[in-house]
């Protein structure tokens, strides 16, 4: 990242620009520590020589498929290479054995066909163009040859395409280690892939930079038997962004399932299953009709909780539902939760302090009651999400006798929010 060791007139350099981050130019004059640079936009600037970085005058027009081959491996050099390849729809680039993916924000179906998978199946790493299939193939071969479990980490900014890349990795592992459909029931890898829409409905949300942002971390463990065939799987989730259930910065949204439930057309509001478009998947993942009804009741109840407002109660520093509207939503939530209405109200408006030998009930003011309501909603939603994951895992089935596994970690993306929140509560 250092400046050129020797700047001479005619040198090509990179300098920082407030609009395009980095801009290239030619050195026109050198006056001590200062140099005059004519930028590619035509403007001329005088800048300290220590503030510029060298540009490779022989950089190929289409870039290079491995960053380690760049003459200058600094920020502008990396960005120039990624942009050159992106412009040619080459969205994947290596940096050694690391794969960098740039979201094309359009469909490139020819990149993910079975024919492409077949090509990577017989190729050494780096022999073909950079691709998630190459990463998955390298992990699979290393597992089989060295008899050691492997893991693949998928990380980056929100909207970078991590979840889609994870799906591509899973598809290739299923291609390599899956069993033929003629062997009977749906395979483990099919069930894992089929679980994605359900997890996305309850764990993804629209953010500033991504309309389908994963707000939880997911580690998919694909288990293999001694011959390298998939024998089981487990999905482990963690750090669900519970605070999103109650606090959303405009113009972001809450989790998809809330909006899908509210989208029920007239006449279907009493039977909202169809609105989530997950009817077939519910059954494939072992979630029966009774359990589906319970899921929808919980989601609807959480929506009603959000409409409960609290006002001052009859006692000092106490609270109660603010008006008839709040009482209606409290009653409805209690019915959906199938719990006692008074007990539910007490859980928001009072706090029980247990001391040695006795329990003391303390009233909460409206502000504290609202905080208690939000905490309750976050915990209930988190428990629902955990239940869904456990149900999916039980349906897929884990192989306690598996010899090895390949884990794929899809870590949630990072963003700079208007109001930054921790993953389990409000900062």
pLDDT at 422: 45
Annotated binding-site members: 156-163
| pLDDT tens-digit map of 243-272 | 999 988 878 899 999 998 888 665 554 555
Task: Write out the two tokens for 39.
Answer: 């930028």
Q: How far apart are the first and last CA of the chain?
A: 36
Active site residue 163: yes
From 11, 204, 214, 332, active-site residue: 214
pLDDT at 162: 87
pLDDT at 267: 54
Tell me the percentage of the chain whose pLDDT exceeds 90: 64
- Residue whose C-alpha is closest to residue 385's, from 263, 237, 273: 237
Active site residue 413: yes
**Residue by residue, what is the 3-state secondary structure of 108-140?**
CHHHCCHHHHHHHHCCCCCCCCCCHHHHHHHHH
Rg (C-alpha) for the chain, rounded Å, is 28
Bigger pLDDT: 90 or 426? 90
pLDDT over 50 at 1, yes or no = no
| pLDDT tens-digit map of 394-415 | 988 888 888 899 999 988 766 5
Q: Count CA atoms within 13 Å of residue 252 on its CB side.
A: 24
| pLDDT tens-digit map of 200-242 | 999 999 988 888 888 999 999 999 999 999 989 999 998 899 9
pLDDT over 90 at 280, yes or no = no
From 166, 196, 213, 237, active-site residue: 213
Active site residue 159: yes
Bigger pLDDT: 174 or 82? 82
Active site residue 50: no
Active site residue 415: yes
pLDDT at 416: 60
**At 101, is the pLDDT very low, low, confident or very high (cuts 50, 70, 90)?**
very high
Annotated binding-site members for ATP: 156-163
**Maximum mean pLDDT: which of 210-219, 279-288, 297-306, 355-364:** 297-306
Task: Average the pLDDT over each of 134-138, 352-356, 389-393 and give the range with the smallest value.
Answer: 352-356
**At 420, is the pLDDT very low, low, confident or very high (cuts 50, 70, 90)?**
low
pLDDT at 180: 59
Task: Average the pLDDT over each of 60-69, 338-347, 393-402 and give the range with the smallest value.
Answer: 393-402
Angle between helix axes 341-349 and 366-396 (nearest 10 degrees) is 120
Q: Which residues pair with 22 in a beta bridge?
A: 16
pLDDT at 424: 40
Active site residue 210: yes
pLDDT over 90 at 389, yes or no = yes
Count the Cβ atoms, other than its own, within 10 Å of residue 38: 14
How far is 270 from 276, CA to CA, in rounded Å?
A: 14
pLDDT at 426: 30
Buried b (16+ CB within 10 A) or exposed e, 391-405: bbbeebebbeebebb
From 11, 93, 210, 332, active-site residue: 210
From 163, 165, 196, 319, active-site residue: 163
pLDDT at 234: 92
Average pLDDT over the chain, rounded to an integer: 88
Average pLDDT over residues 85-113: 93
Task: Average the pLDDT over each of 91-95, 399-403, 407-411, 421-425 and give the range with the smallest value.
Answer: 421-425
How far is 216 from 202, CA to CA, in rounded Å?
A: 10
| pLDDT tens-digit map of 144-194 | 999 999 999 998 887 888 888 988 999 999 899 876 554 545 677 778 878
pLDDT at 427: 27
């Amino acid at each position: 990242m250092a400046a050129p060791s020797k700047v001479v007139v005619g040198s090509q350099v990179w300098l920082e620009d407030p609009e395009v981050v980095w801009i290239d130019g030619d050195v026109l004059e050198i006056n001590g520590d200062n140099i005059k640079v004519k930028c590619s936009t035509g403007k001329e600037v005088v800048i300290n020589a220590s503030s510029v970085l060298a540009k490779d005058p022989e950089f190929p027009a289409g870039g290079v498929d491995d960053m380690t081959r760049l003459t200058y491996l600094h920020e502008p050099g990396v960005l120039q290479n990624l942009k050159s390849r992106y412009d040619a729809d080459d969205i994947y680039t290596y940096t050694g054995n690391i794969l960098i993916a740039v979201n094309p924000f359009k469909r490139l179906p020819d990149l993910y066909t079975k024919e492409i998978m077949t090509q990577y199946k017989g190729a050494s790493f780096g022999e073909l163009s950079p691709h998630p299939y190459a990463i998955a193939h390298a992990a699979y071969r290393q597992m089989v040859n060295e008899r050691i479990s492997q893991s693949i980490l998928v990380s980056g900014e929100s909207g970078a395409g991590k979840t889609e890349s994870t799906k591509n990795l899973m598809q290739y592992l299923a291609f390599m280690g899956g069993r033929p459909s003629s062997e009977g029931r749906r395979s483990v890898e099919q069930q894992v892939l089929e679980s994605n829409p359900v997890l996305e409905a309850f764990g993804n949300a629209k953010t500033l930079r991504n309309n389908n942002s994963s707000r939880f971390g997911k580690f998919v463990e694909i288990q293999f038997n001694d011959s390298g065939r998939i024998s089981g799987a487990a999905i482990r989730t963690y750090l669900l962004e519970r605070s999103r259930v109650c606090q959303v910065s405009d113009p972001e949204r809450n989790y998809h399932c809330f909006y899908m439930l509210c989208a029920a057309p007239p006449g279907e509001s009493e039977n909202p299953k169809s609105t989530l478009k997950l009817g077939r998947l519910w059954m494939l993942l072992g979630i029966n009709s009774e359990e589906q009804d319970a899921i929808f009741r919980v989601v609807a109840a959480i929506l009603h909780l959000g409409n409960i407002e609290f006002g001052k109660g009859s006692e000092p520093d106490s609270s109660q539902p603010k008006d008839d509207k709040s009482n209606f939503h409290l009653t409805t939530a209690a019915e959906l939760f199938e719990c006692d209405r008074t007990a539910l109200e007490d859980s928001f408006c009072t706090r029980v302090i247990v001391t040695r030998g006795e329990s003391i009930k303390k009233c909460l003011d409206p502000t504290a009651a609202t905080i208690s309501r939000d905490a309750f909603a976050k915990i209930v939603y988190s428990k629902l999400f955990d239940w869904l994951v456990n149900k999916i895992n039980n349906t897929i089935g884990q192989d306690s006798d598996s010899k090895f596994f390949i884990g794929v970690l899809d870590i949630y993306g990072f963003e700079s929010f208007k109001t930054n929140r921790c993953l389990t509560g409000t900062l």
